[in-house]
Structures are given as structure tokens and as C-alpha cells.
Amino acid sequence: MSDLAGTDAVVAVAGYWAVPAAALVGALAFLTASLHAMSGSAVSGRGRLAAATVLVREVARLLRQRRRRTVAADVLLWRFATAGLVPLALLKVTVIPFGRWTLFDSPVGVVWFNAMDVGVWALVWLAGWGPNAVHSLVGGYRFLAQAVGYELPLMFALVAPPIAAGSLRVGEVSAAQDGLWFVVWMPVAFGVYCVGVVAFSVWGPFSVAVGSDLAGGVLAESSGVDRLLFLAGRYLLLVAGAGFAVPMFLGGGAGPILAGWVWVLVKTMLLLAAFVAVGHRVPSLRPDKFVEAAWVVLLPLAVAQDMVVAVVAVGRT
């Protein structure tokens, strides 16, 4: 095995591969949205319409709909924010090793992912700020309150795998799980990470920023292609979050028989299915209550997990 060690390393591919990669991520997002629509019609007892066509028709509707501007809106920041989630999610994906290949083999890939994640704060807040309207502004505030809750536990959860691997390079974190996936001996970090992903994707129980009680919150004034981009960005963030969990906790491309990249896809999709299942079934978490639980329960748990991982890592060397 030792003479093959060199092939374990992840290879950074040429830049033009970003195009098929983005298409693949888009396809996964489409699949996730379809799955969500399907579970929605199962919940409401209306299974007459195939979920995939619902999505196509919804996209057609938003493409046909006119864009809106509100009085004295901050149009530049508003449009920047609603359109920004899509590229941000794609930037997150660049550091994920797809089998042996990656787009961006950064020595600090984990930090890169987390930095992009903080970008979500700015974009969702600005999307709420831009229209100069009360409901969307309150939605923006809500997201910030929620972010104060999930971000620190998420950061500490992301710290655990690099400690064990001794590297912030995502490929090396993935390779360090030789035989024993990190999810097995750092389940708390994995759980907290998943909460963070659902939260930064403004998804399911963490979608209060776009909640019905705010008439759509951040999205209350958006229509047409602006709305479409924001909604697409949400799904892409969910895909990016699920995809990043694979090298961090789920052994990367490790698995029997199938090629590494197939395993990455399979694991990502399984995690996405779990996120979708949460979507309709869990009530919204109000930020004021969630923040309390996040700081009193999740944060100490994540730190304790880091300590355990650090002790084990020191013991090994």
C-alpha cells in the first residue's frame, strides 16, 4: 500500500472543470428541490402532480414574472444579495474532493468553507435590508439572530476533523479517515455540523427568516428572477453543506467496489434526503429560543467534542 500512497493525494483539476462541476451541483439541487416537493405533496395528501413537473412549472412561473422594485429601495445591495447565494454556494463546493479530483486544493480548505459560510450572513441580511420594507427587514434581523446561534457551534464542530487529521486541507482530512470515519468517533461534531448546514441554508425549521408569519420575510418583496435565484441559492447551500460533510465526517470517497466519486455522490444524496425529511416535519425554531439552546447546549457540547478529539490526537503522536 505504501508505494501507492502518492495516489491518495487529491489532484487539483483545470479551471474549466468548474463548469461541469457547477452543472452537477445544480442537478443535485434540482433533485433535492424535487424531493422536497414530493415530500410536501405526501404531507398534504396531494400526490396528483409529479414533483419534478411542479419544480419545472415553478421555475417557468418565476422566469415569466416581472421583477419588482420598492420605493427608495437599496436596489444595488438588494440585487447583489438575492443573486449572491448561488455563486457563494458554488465557491463553497470548490474545496470538496470529488473522488481523486478537486477544483481548489487549498491548504486551508476548511477555513475557506467557513469563510464562505459567513458570507451567507451578509447576503441574507442585505436581501432583507434592500427592499426598504418592514417584513423583509425583520426577516433579515431574524436571520442574524439565528446566525448568532448556529455559527459558533458550527465553527467548533468544523474544528474537530482538522485536529484529528492534523491538517486544514480537505483532501488530507478525508484521507485521514482511513478505516474509521470521523462520524463514528465524533458524532457530536457531526450532529452540530448538520444543524449548522440546515441553519445557514435557511431551511426547514431554520427558515424563520422567510417565514409565513412575516409574509415571506426576507422574500416578502422579491419576485421573478430575483426570487428564483434566492431560492436556488438556498438549495445549493444545502447541497454544498451535505457535500462538505462527506470528506469531513463520512470518509470521503471511501467505500467498497464503486469508484470514489460515486461514493461521494451517494453519501451526499443520503444526507440531502435526511435534510429534506426534516423540512416538513419539524416546527420552526424561533431564533430567540434557539440562540439560548445553541449557546447553553450545542456550543459546550461542540467544545467538549473538540477536547476529546484533541486528547486522542495528542495520544496518537
Contact residues toward other proteins (CB under 8 A) are: 40, 43-46, 48-49, 54, 56-58, 60-61, 63-72, 131-135, 137-138, 141-142, 205, 207-208, 211-216, 219-224, 227, 279-286, 288-289
The nearest distance, CB 233 to other proteins, in angstroms, is 17
Cβ closest to other proteins, residue 119 vs residue 224: 224
Cβ closest to other proteins, residue 178 vs residue 288: 288
Which residue, 267, 277, 231, is CA-closest to 89? 231
Cβ closest to other proteins, residue 68 vs residue 100: 68
The nearest distance, CB 59 to other proteins, in angstroms, is 8
Q: How far apart are CA 315 and CA 310, in angstroms?
A: 8
CA torsion sign, 87 to 89 to 95 to 101? negative
Identify residue 113 by its one-letter amino acid code: F
Q: How far apart are CA 28 and CA 42, in angstroms?
A: 21
Cβ closest to other proteins, residue 133 vs residue 189: 133
Q: How far apart are CA 46 and CA 64, in angstroms?
A: 26
Q: How far apart are CA 241 and CA 236, in angstroms?
A: 8
The nearest distance, CB 241 to other proteins, in angstroms, is 20
Cβ closest to other proteins, residue 45 vs residue 256: 45
Which residue, 243, 215, 108, 125, is CA-closest to 165? 108
Q: How far is CA 70 from the centre of its chain?
A: 30
Identify residue 202 by its one-letter amino acid code: V
The nearest distance, CB 279 to other proteins, in angstroms, is 8
The nearest distance, CB 292 to other proteins, in angstroms, is 10
